[in-house]
Chain A
């Protein structure tokens, strides 16, 4: 892939520099098998840049993804001015990538207020694979929706890369979901009218207008094809979701979540509708992503067996974190 294309696909971002909690390195890495993004670039990102990112102070002129976020209304991605002192200040290089402080949320049903979350504090380091485990009705899905800004909390704060995101304007939140977060759902949530390939491309279609889409269409399709190859769906590009099996649909959903090269992957019971073996395959895939690309993953599940595969597990009981 040439540089233009890469830049386009990444939006405004420069090559990723991830801050990884050193203790995570002890987790054994899945070797071989999946090649991510079809090239050594990400490998390089993860391995070569990680020490630099953790040990060095961020160079003043460098525009990282975090900084870009601080300027919601700046012009087209490619022309975004480099760096912003304010943003650099806000960002604490060694803090957790995602942090919630005292999140509360309740639903109203016929004038009775049902509290779902009663003050949740969660932290996720960059590159961490965090599992949130809880019974159904414990509020774990609600937590996930709050984290990805689909819903607004009644109280508390959510910080992403040092910046509060729960009070952002709608356009900014849409942008965040489109570019920085990837999401996987229990029911896959693929669009039935679109083919597998188009489903994977849909975040890019949302991001780009008609003109840009057709301008970069070939490159985008190539990239989507590579991602589908990676998740093992290279032969199913033209199939509609209803022609796929559950596992295949979830793989397609993962490919869709990855097309924007997100910083954070939020998974809502990704194996909930799959048999054990398929579920394990999906989890392997997620772990590989976490391992090789340093992708931060927050997964909610009710199954302790699945949660065990994550680096860290927190338990959500009655809207509170149980240590």
Chain B
């Protein structure tokens, strides 16, 4: 009993111990905050990665792909049918994306992915990341009239506003078409074209050529063909109906127009394409997103055919939606188009049987099945020289491992902070034991045992740990709860944003509190506090009562 009373009294009256309480408190709070933020990052990242990638992917090693999705799916079902929930065939091919913004042609390297719009949404969260609410239920490659989200992705983290998305869709397309027609008239273009019809290449030379003479010259220069890298193929029979476009209306192709079917961009669209939003978005200094393209604009894609050697072919697509997963790697690298169209363009359809080639099958597992176990079974069943089978973790393994390692190292470093607090407790306790030498003698003369005296100081150390880690936990949790407000405040005070969204691609700091982590941290802090008090407590226990009583 006296142990509790005395350690309680010591706790209340020794203000020097406050120092060690504060150091324990800070250590615990920091560890909780850092762990929560790291866990939040990891969770967000895993969610994103897993949302984009299906559980398992069977990939053909050849760029040409392998024929017959149905046959492969059957094989997969026979090997691991009980675990497979859904599958979708995919064609993946490297490609170049070109689009024009204010007279500048912007070209980006992308992964072109042909997806089956009916089943793609079933194997991954692909649809959830689209910007049109209706596309989130079932993706469609038809341009929507309007109604695109202006707030970006609807998740807990919040994103900057994109008011321009309000105009996206058919309304934008019609307006752009009218504007071009008007500009063409104003700049003295041939007026013989009907109002409602324009050649396919109309989107190209948006402003008057007079405004950009330099551009004109480049376009006429035969060596600047990289602007339209696939022009010869565009005229080929692969793409008969929507005539691919030379970017330059003043070129000799103008003469071909009457023979071609007229394409009115105000009422018709090319094949739809979904772009990762980072391909078209630029961060504005004001914090919002500037968009180089809106749904309704046309883009050009250039990619190799399936033959050997591959030929580059090109086609025009209409942007129908953006894809925003907030994983910059995906958002700035993926373009999705219908798989059938891609197969047609690349020549991946067997002319005799009509069977399409595919390059990958994405597999969604039923809940409760271990992806790695199924992966190993599939690896055994499919020839590893021709196919690779990977889980989503395998595909992002290095990234996840790097984050895990960062967390581990941070934890070790921060735990050293608490260990330092432990040495503070040790030093302060040694002082308190010396200060209390006489009292220890008194207690022993009253019949307290050495173990009892030791108990006083161990209890004292434990209560320091309890108070320190208790307050630290509360502080840490409060900090985590308001971490974004605190980051904003710090940013305002220092004049520099603490958390720069353009670096992290998260707009807010994600934080997840894991009760187990908190328990471990608090337990570790308590253990350190008690361990640090063992030495002083033993010293107190071994004091000779007579010497202690004589001590003045």
Contacts of A206 in B (CB 8 A): 1-2, 443, 446-448, 452
Given known pairs A170-B450, A189-B438, A192-B439, the reply for A150 and B444 (CB within 8 Å) is yes
Minimal Cβ-Cβ distance residue in A for B544: A151
Contacts of A191 in B (CB 8 A): 6, 439, 442-443
Minimal Cβ-Cβ distance residue in A for B545: A150
Q: When A and B form their complex, what is the total count of cross-chain residue pairs whose Cβ atoms lie within 8 Å?
A: 73
Confirm or deny: B549 has a beta carbon within 8 angstroms of a beta carbon on chain A: yes
Complex Cα distance A178/B10, Å?
A: 23
Beta-carbon contact of B9 and A193 below 8 Å: yes
Confirm or deny: A177 has a beta carbon within 8 angstroms of a beta carbon on chain B: yes
Beta-carbon contact of B546 and A150 below 8 Å: yes
Beta-carbon contact of A202 and B446 below 8 Å: yes
Complex Cα distance A320/B149, Å?
A: 103
Contacts of A208 in B (CB 8 A): 1
Beta-carbon contact of A213 and B442 below 8 Å: no
For chain A, residues 177 to 224, give those with C-beta under 8 angstroms from any C-beta of chain B: 177-179, 183, 185, 187, 189-194, 198, 202-203, 205-210, 213
Contacts of B408 in A (CB 8 A): none
Given known pairs A150-B546, A206-B452, the reply for A178 and B442 (CB within 8 Å) is no
For chain A, residues 141 to 196, give those with C-beta under 8 angstroms from any C-beta of chain B: 145, 148, 150-151, 170-171, 174-179, 183, 185, 187, 189-194
Contacts of B546 in A (CB 8 A): 145, 150-151
Contacts of A145 in B (CB 8 A): 546, 549
Instruction: Tell me how far the C-beta of A134 lies from the nearest C-beta in chain B, rounded to whole angstroms.
Output: 17
Confirm or deny: B4 has a beta carbon within 8 angstroms of a beta carbon on chain A: yes
Given known pairs A150-B546, A206-B452, the reply for A194 and B446 (CB within 8 Å) is no
Beta-carbon contact of B445 and A193 below 8 Å: no
Confirm or deny: B253 has a beta carbon within 8 angstroms of a beta carbon on chain A: no
Beta-carbon contact of B1 and A209 below 8 Å: yes
Beta-carbon contact of A174 and B1 below 8 Å: no
Complex Cα distance A198/B5, Å?
A: 9
Beta-carbon contact of A194 and B447 below 8 Å: no
Contacts of B544 in A (CB 8 A): 151
Contacts of A192 in B (CB 8 A): 439
Contacts of B308 in A (CB 8 A): none
Instruction: Tell me how far the C-beta of B136 lies from the nearest C-beta in chain A, rounded to whole angstroms.
Output: 61
Instruction: Tell me how far the C-beta of A206 lies from the nearest C-beta in chain B, rounded to whole angstroms.
Output: 5
Contacts of A179 in B (CB 8 A): 447
Partner of B6, one of A189, A193, A210: A193
Given known pairs A189-B438, A191-B439, A193-B13, the reply for A203 and B447 (CB within 8 Å) is yes
Given known pairs A170-B449, A206-B443, the reply for A194 and B1 (CB within 8 Å) is no
Beta-carbon contact of B444 and A189 below 8 Å: no
Beta-carbon contact of A202 and B445 below 8 Å: no
Minimal Cβ-Cβ distance residue in A for B7: A193
- Secondary structure at chain A's binding surface: helix, strand, loop or mixed? helix
Given known pairs A150-B545, A185-B549, the reply for A205 and B1 (CB within 8 Å) is yes
Minimal Cβ-Cβ distance residue in A for B547: A151
Instruction: Tell me how far the C-beta of A278 lies from the nearest C-beta in chain B, rounded to whole angstroms.
Output: 21
Complex Cα distance A208/B447, Å?
A: 12
For chain B, residues 40 to 62, give those with C-beta under 8 angstroms from any C-beta of chain A: none
Contacts of A205 in B (CB 8 A): 1-2, 5
Complex Cα distance A150/B13, Å?
A: 29
Complex Cα distance A32/B1, Å?
A: 37
For chain B, residues 512 to 552, give those with C-beta under 8 angstroms from any C-beta of chain A: 544-546, 549, 552
Beta-carbon contact of B9 and A194 below 8 Å: yes
Beta-carbon contact of B438 and A210 below 8 Å: no
Minimal Cβ-Cβ distance residue in B for A213: B1
Minimal Cβ-Cβ distance residue in B for A175: B447
Contacts of B445 in A (CB 8 A): 148, 150, 177, 183, 189
Partner of B1, one of A148, A210, A256: A210
Minimal Cβ-Cβ distance residue in B for A179: B447
Complex Cα distance A212/B450, Å?
A: 21
Instruction: Tell me how far the C-beta of B101 lies from the nearest C-beta in chain A, rounded to whole angstroms.
Output: 77
Beta-carbon contact of A202 and B449 below 8 Å: no
Given known pairs A150-B545, A194-B5, the reply for A174 and B442 (CB within 8 Å) is no
Contacts of B444 in A (CB 8 A): 150, 174
Contacts of B442 in A (CB 8 A): 189-191
Beta-carbon contact of A189 and B447 below 8 Å: no
Complex Cα distance A190/B546, Å?
A: 16
Instruction: Tell me how far the C-beta of B5 lies from the nearest C-beta in chain A, rounded to whole angstroms.
Output: 7
Interface string of B1-30 (1 = CB under 8 A from A): 110111001100100000000000000000
Given known pairs A150-B546, A206-B452, A209-B1, the reply for A193 and B10 (CB within 8 Å) is yes
Complex Cα distance A145/B548, Å?
A: 12
Instruction: Tell me how far the C-beta of B429 lies from the nearest C-beta in chain A, rounded to whole angstroms.
Output: 16
Beta-carbon contact of B4 and A210 below 8 Å: yes
Minimal Cβ-Cβ distance residue in A for B448: A206
Given known pairs A198-B5, A209-B1, A213-B1, the reply for A189 and B448 (CB within 8 Å) is no
Beta-carbon contact of B5 and A178 below 8 Å: no
Partner of B446, one of A170, A203, A210, A213: A203
Complex Cα distance A41/B475, Å?
A: 58
Complex Cα distance A308/B446, Å?
A: 28
Complex Cα distance A208/B5, Å?
A: 13
Instruction: Tell me how far the C-beta of A269 lies from the nearest C-beta in chain B, rounded to whole angstroms.
Output: 13
Looking at B441, B445, B452, B545, the one whose CB has the most chain A CB atoms below 10 A away is B445
Minimal Cβ-Cβ distance residue in B for A176: B447
Instruction: Tell me how far the C-beta of A197 lies from the nearest C-beta in chain B, rounded to whole angstroms.
Output: 12
Minimal Cβ-Cβ distance residue in B for A173: B447
Beta-carbon contact of A174 and B6 below 8 Å: no
Complex Cα distance A170/B541, Å?
A: 12
Interface string of B147-187 (1 = CB under 8 A from A): 00000000000000000000000000000000000000000
Partner of A177, one of B439, B446, B549: B446
Complex Cα distance A208/B549, Å?
A: 24
List 10 A-B pairs, minimum CB-CB distance, nearest first: A178-B447, A193-B9, A205-B2, A213-B1, A205-B1, A177-B447, A189-B442, A150-B545, A174-B447, A151-B546
**With contacts A203-B446, A206-B448 known, what are 17 further pairs, Cβ within 8 A?**
A145-B546, A145-B549, A150-B545, A177-B446, A178-B447, A178-B448, A183-B446, A189-B438, A189-B549, A191-B439, A193-B6, A205-B1, A206-B2, A206-B443, A207-B447, A210-B4, A213-B1
What are 17 contact pairs spanning A and B, CB under 8 A?
A151-B544, A151-B545, A170-B450, A171-B449, A175-B447, A179-B447, A183-B446, A187-B552, A189-B438, A192-B439, A193-B10, A193-B439, A202-B446, A205-B5, A206-B1, A206-B446, A210-B4
Residues in chain B within 8 A of chain A (CB atoms): 1-2, 4-6, 9-10, 13, 438-439, 441-450, 452, 544-546, 549, 552
